[in-house]
Structure 1
């Protein structure tokens, strides 16, 4: 005989299949962009997925079902919700998988996208499939190329030679943001560095705007903090060191502690710095320097910056000398692995007495250490250095000044000597967007021997990605497209002469930096977006995303939108009015991973328990913005609850004398407010509590009361359980569809409770509860509490010497 759970699961599969078919034929909620009202519309957006071969991850379902629950609730409250879906279908991840199985990236992407679309349909979310987009569609990336050309015309896109991070497995450059420690975030391979000509978008030109406007955003404080730290604005000073015997060379270091300038005992340059080539020629140990530079090319990023000498020699001291800008003293130039070409200027003034990294470096290589800031009494050094502030010593005319005063004075002196001065610098680097791969949008640039770099005319867009058989990266620093003569060889748009195309493609983050602008104008062919539609529909009202995208996708989208705004192409400077980050799901107390065998496959669970039970459990197992622990036991608790709820709604009543229905009003209010705050777990808990109350009170209700109570309960579950709600609404004889109904109204007067149950504490420890009138005075509450048997026993005859009473919340007796 089938268990109750099995029967409920079988029934859910039947009605979910039924309603998917009905909704496909007669969509209950459809957004009409042509009639969108900017006052009532809600652009409810989730980050679109890249369609991997593994299929939809449960983390996607977690995020998407939360956004869908909010969208359905808003629809029931008279808002017109636009909830599109598409696919971030270009990129290294898909291409690497295609190469692994020996298949073309396009066929892999087509198959994976079809599977994602099937899975996304099964979860019952109200997607606006009529505006679905794919970033590998030429009709889409035509406009990615157009945006790039607009940025190029504005001086915000440039090709230049620079040290770049290279993945020897993916055989392409990576942006600094795509490196995890010293490994490629995609494949896990240890990365190296190369000097190559690459395309960059000049996001650094927008650093101040992006930083200064963060406070105005309705974003989580975590997002704002991470972006601030990533952009890393620092106020300090540039210090220019001339090079002995090489008057044309000036090495500029940036420091936030120019008060320590008199403690400089060496000048360190990054192995990738332009001057190193000259240094190799000039230094007596130039061969050793060259060998060291080749050695350091195998170490990248955080590994070099934090682990001085941990993976080999920390640096090489040369006999080429830099000249101190204020004293004229000569100090050696060293090549150091902890100096990164991408940070600041690629030059560091070494002050080992007052910087921990400089101190470790100097001790390792036997360089002098000179104290120039005296630590206040009671403060010690850290790792042999004193990094704090104090009075200057051994600093010529600045001796005796405090650090703050000295910074201003020394910066002014450098300014006067034209050897530096006060300046603001940033950790943020320009956005490296070119990739030496196949599966991406071609960069729309042509090279002509006569005309130089020439943008592809707008009328010739898109530059389509050719379908070729061999897409494997070459590892030569050139894209596979470089081996396709019919793609490479072209005519110069300016002079008509022979020319060649750029063969690199865009990084996938370029495609996703503007996709939200395209959804409402997906079928518009005269531009990337329809200006009139865009003015009504954007910016995005609420964006559900992941923390991992804070310093990449979210930042890139802000930059691109602000640039387009400044160019007069969009009427708003920020892309997302409101951003919320979903939490992290774990499974049985551990992070999900294939190696642990605890990855939750949405298809398997929908097959087992149905989409509604999976949706509801995901949103119930923890606060949506924090995450939760997924357990099969907890999931089956939801399955059982759904069975009880369905049975209760289908239960008739002969009619009782009448019940106090204010409990329902309170539930309607609380569930609605919790959904608005994305507190889905507590909203569901309230529905469970209401369900129990209805079961207990049913026989007291009149027939009309019971009918209204059942309808209200079904409406409350509709945002979370769209299939079950539709099935039960039909059972109750409601008009199609439950998702076209208004959210239940409540009587505000019912929110004021006559009585409250207060927890009683003694010295902060729970000892019982007491029911008192809601408006009770403190003396009356204490008198009632002192009559509770468990409190009497706990006091043991003692008299409270103090009372802490929070009305309607708690009473604490202190003895």
Structure 2
């Protein structure tokens, strides 16, 4: 064993050994219990950041711990490699996206390997390689054949200067990020997946996920947004084109008699009909253009000022027959509900503010019980609590909640409405008018129409040598060798679909490909996924709590319905780690507060980086970066190194690494305390890592053990030290520290005489008997105030405890002859003496 802790040398040494012996490669083993540990695969940006280090260090500890517990652990890594940044790099630097991505993958792979992560690199996948996106295309076709993939017109972000559709992330302050042209909304044919067909199951099956954080399940529940209400028809006095009525969805049909206006989304198809021969057409169109420049998020934000414009037209209330003004508003979305909402300003704050702003009528229809009646003219805010219906025709006097069903029945009886369950969730728009993505495997034929590409013709290859033109148009449109093809159905000339798939499609099934990464005949083998799935522990940022997780759940349910997999939920347990902060802010290049993992590894070693980031905070909380904390982690590893270095010679002749049995009766007081500290640390780390993922407290327990072993070393003369026990403690120390600091522990394991790799050893056990103290600390109180602490025998009964405390000379001195009124004793904890 070297005298100095040379982390650079030993980390390189053990990484080469692990790779040479492929110790992290795993196969299906029906005789062993499996464990699938997975961190969300990264976009290959080229550089790891501290958020990556935290995510992957957490997963690595779990994977190594489960391996040492005897499970067959699958721990893979790959790359979410399609997407916009590669195209932007191509435009900016003239580097082909494929080259840029491949170089970044190579760089990030070497960075991950430098961290000593226990990945099975034989299972590496990249979504941009044909052997992967062939199966992404195949899965698209399975959804297409199941009528779950379809094409329809949808509003998209359109840049007239670049003549292209922009993703939301390409729109900055309402303008194109490339040319600063104001972005417009434009209706184009787009591909969708029918995720709404699974809305109820996606909601219900959240109950199957007790291993997910409640906050994530709540976020998904809110995104799916199930509501129960009614759809009702507001008739138009005069037919407008094909429209005779406006259908409205509401959860508050109890307020139908309080409707004083109705608001349409600017994109509502009726709007164009209402603008015909309208003397305010230009003014209304200007308002619509303004609204359409806002994102959906901005339009639905609670902070945005609600704005609208009157169309000059009216519809009729389905129950009263009264005229209701039709407005267009900035807060209504065409693809939520029906694209039309009814305004009830007396009982909805948003509607109240809108009505007050535009001087619209306010009609009270719910009166609170037990207080003076509401008067519309005197209201300064909406009354949105429950109460008794008024001004509501035959429903007057009913409690409003009871009237919900009664009014829905009335609407259905007259054919003016129906009960309806609605979801906020919209179908998943997967089309991207970009180049760097998986081509959608559809051919457009003048004779046959829309034709899916046959399985045997997959993959539809993405050309690598493309030219990005200043127009911003996808290069695929100008590649005749890509565009032009034969119709698979009739053999006549046809054209390929030039849209590519949203990268969320790639990440919605990658965990299945890891099960059969080299399979050329299937996306995944059923036997493999039946063994490995579902993922036992999934780890990633909370920013993916909605879309990625929702889409992965949807894909898994579809594949289960198609009998391609045997599970209908992909991730059994989920851990969403917090961010890494510096000075209270997320690390960001723009803020100049980024710490490079490479710099930390170069200066202190990967083990130090891992240990600090796991010790500094519980994994689900944000972590504040601390240079002092990093230095402290490094000093601790040096301290462990020096401790084992100091015992190289004394322990040399001891062949037994760990004691098979611990006989406490043969140990003196100091040895018993050392044994207790050893076995307590093993117990604490086992429980904290295995049950709670409290890595910070696990590391703290290891540090306490090291302190206890140094104390024993200093207090007990070497000739009196129990060296077999001490060596047992060192071996268990190395084993429980190994998942956190794998490189140094490999070296220390060898120096202690251990055989094989440290992570191929069984996880150490602990002896409950060793945890029992001979003596415990008893707190002595006088009239409830702590006055003394005594060390007494463990397990004394109440009466014996009282008598020994009262007989103690220090306690006698405290009492000073005072009259003892009462003595209260709690075994092994305290004695409270009540005196006068």
TM-score scaled to structure 2, two decimals? 0.89
Deviation, structure 1 residue 198: 0.9
Question: Which residue, out of 755, 766, 770, partners 1:735?
Answer: 755
Tell me if the contact between 2:156 and 2:165 (Cα under 8 Å) persists in the aligned partners. Answer: no
Equivalent position of 2:359 in the other structure: 366
Deviation, structure 1 residue 668: 1.0
Q: Does 1:68 align with 2:68?
A: no
CA 1:108–1:283: 2 relative to 1, 3 Å: same
CA distance in 1, matches of 2:220, 2:833: 47
Deviation, structure 1 residue 726: 0.6
Residues 376-396 of structure 1: CA deviation (Å, up to 9, x unaligned): 346999962111211011010
Tell me if the contact between 1:540 and 1:577 (Cα under 8 Å) persists in the aligned partners. Answer: yes
CA 1:447–1:328: 2 relative to 1, 3 Å: same
CA distance in 2, matches of 1:183, 1:791: 84
CA distance in 2, matches of 1:508, 1:760: 66
Q: Does 1:673 align with 2:665?
A: no
Q: Does 1:15 align with 2:15?
A: no
Equivalent position of 1:404 in the other structure: 401
Q: Does 1:108 align with 2:108?
A: no
CA distance in 1, matches of 2:737, 2:180: 43
Question: Which residue, out of 61, 75, 89, partners 2:81?
Answer: 89
CA 1:174–1:206: 2 relative to 1, 3 Å: farther
Deviation, structure 1 residue 751: 3.2
CA distance in 2, matches of 1:554, 1:631: 32
Tell me if the contact between 2:161 and 2:471 (Cα under 8 Å) persists in the aligned partners. Answer: no
Question: Which residue, out of 307, 312, 318, partners 1:314?
Answer: 307
Deviation, structure 1 residue 693: 0.7
Equivalent position of 2:350 in the other structure: 357
Between Structure 1 and Structure 2, how many residues are aligned?
A: 799
Residue correspondence of structure 1 range 461-610 to structure 2 within 5 A:
461-471=458-468, 474=471, 479-610=474-605
Question: Which residue, out of 219, 229, 233, partners 1:226?
Answer: 219
SS at match of 1:545: strand
SS at match of 1:245: strand
CA 1:339–1:13: 2 relative to 1, 3 Å: same
CA 1:453–1:521: 2 relative to 1, 3 Å: same
CA 1:812–1:482: 2 relative to 1, 3 Å: farther
CA distance in 1, matches of 2:476, 2:831: 74
Equivalent position of 2:30 in the other structure: 37
Tell me if the contact between 1:239 and 1:419 (Cα under 8 Å) persists in the aligned partners. Answer: yes
Equivalent position of 2:764 in the other structure: 744
Tell me if the contact between 1:438 and 1:471 (Cα under 8 Å) persists in the aligned partners. Answer: no
CA distance in 1, matches of 2:171, 2:528: 38
Q: Does 1:122 align with 2:122?
A: no
CA distance in 2, matches of 1:181, 1:752: 65
CA 1:383–1:223: 2 relative to 1, 3 Å: farther
CA distance in 1, matches of 2:813, 2:75: 58
The more displaced of 614-623 and 486-495 is 486-495
CA 1:628–1:709: 2 relative to 1, 3 Å: same
Q: CA RMSD in A?
A: 3.5
Tell me if the contact between 1:280 and 1:287 (Cα under 8 Å) persists in the aligned partners. Answer: no
Q: Does 1:246 align with 2:239?
A: yes
Tell me if the contact between 2:223 and 2:425 (Cα under 8 Å) persists in the aligned partners. Answer: yes
SS at match of 1:239: strand
Residues 286-325 of structure 1: CA deviation (Å, up to 9, x unaligned): 2322221112111122322236873xx8111122111111
Tell me if the contact between 1:203 and 1:559 (Cα under 8 Å) persists in the aligned partners. Answer: yes
Larger Rg: 2
Deviation, structure 1 residue 216: 1.5
Q: Does 1:336 align with 2:332?
A: no
Deviation, structure 1 residue 664: 1.2
Tell me if the contact between 2:805 and 2:811 (Cα under 8 Å) persists in the aligned partners. Answer: no
Equivalent position of 1:636 in the other structure: 631
Question: Which residue, out of 281, 289, 293, partners 2:288?
Answer: 293
Residues 667-711 of structure 1: CA deviation (Å, up to 9, x unaligned): 111111111121111111001000111112234532222222221
Tell me if the contact between 1:353 and 1:359 (Cα under 8 Å) persists in the aligned partners. Answer: yes
Question: Which residue, out of 289, 305, 311, partners 2:300?
Answer: 305
Question: Which residue, out of 50, 74, 77, partners 2:69?
Answer: 77
Residue correspondence of structure 1 range 109-258 to structure 2 within 5 A:
109-165=101-157, 172-174=165-167, 193-217=185-209, 218-246=211-239, 248-258=243-253
SS at match of 1:464: coil
The more displaced of 75-84 and 746-755 is 746-755
CA distance in 2, matches of 1:428, 1:164: 18
CA 1:813–1:407: 2 relative to 1, 3 Å: farther
Equivalent position of 1:420 in the other structure: 417
SS at match of 2:126: coil
CA distance in 2, matches of 1:809, 1:191: 71
CA 1:410–1:665: 2 relative to 1, 3 Å: same
Deviation, structure 1 residue 784: 8.4
CA distance in 1, matches of 2:161, 2:9: 47
Equivalent position of 1:450 in the other structure: 447
Q: Does 1:57 align with 2:54?
A: no
Residues 315-360 of structure 1: CA deviation (Å, up to 9, x unaligned): 1112211111111111111111111112211100111111111111
CA 1:285–1:208: 2 relative to 1, 3 Å: same
Question: Which residue, out of 742, 746, 749, partners 1:726?
Answer: 746
Tell me if the contact between 1:473 and 1:479 (Cα under 8 Å) persists in the aligned partners. Answer: no
TM-score scaled to structure 1, two decimals? 0.91
Tell me if the contact between 1:770 and 1:788 (Cα under 8 Å) persists in the aligned partners. Answer: no
Residues 172-193 of structure 1: CA deviation (Å, up to 9, x unaligned): 45479x9999899999999763
CA distance in 1, matches of 2:830, 2:173: 49
Tell me if the contact between 1:356 and 1:383 (Cα under 8 Å) persists in the aligned partners. Answer: no
CA 1:618–1:265: 2 relative to 1, 3 Å: same
The more displaced of 131-140 and 652-661 is 652-661
CA 1:29–1:294: 2 relative to 1, 3 Å: closer
Tell me if the contact between 1:282 and 1:320 (Cα under 8 Å) persists in the aligned partners. Answer: no
Tell me if the contact between 1:443 and 1:502 (Cα under 8 Å) persists in the aligned partners. Answer: yes
Tell me if the contact between 1:93 and 1:186 (Cα under 8 Å) persists in the aligned partners. Answer: no
Deviation, structure 1 residue 722: 0.6
CA 1:798–1:293: 2 relative to 1, 3 Å: farther
The more displaced of 122-131 and 577-586 is 577-586
CA distance in 2, matches of 1:594, 1:42: 37
The more displaced of 115-124 and 343-352 is 343-352
**5+ unaligned residues in a row in structure 1: which ranges?**
1-6
Q: Does 1:28 align with 2:28?
A: no
CA 1:331–1:169: 2 relative to 1, 3 Å: same
Deviation, structure 1 residue 65: 0.8
Tell me if the contact between 1:239 and 1:254 (Cα under 8 Å) persists in the aligned partners. Answer: yes
CA distance in 2, matches of 1:811, 1:150: 73
Tell me if the contact between 1:279 and 1:286 (Cα under 8 Å) persists in the aligned partners. Answer: no
CA 1:793–1:525: 2 relative to 1, 3 Å: farther
Residues 32-82 of structure 1: CA deviation (Å, up to 9, x unaligned): x2x4237511111111100113x0111111111111111111111111111
SS at match of 2:200: helix
Equivalent position of 1:4 in the other structure: none
Q: Does 1:388 align with 2:385?
A: yes
**5+ unaligned residues in a row in structure 2: which ranges?**
652-666
Deviation, structure 1 residue 30: 3.0
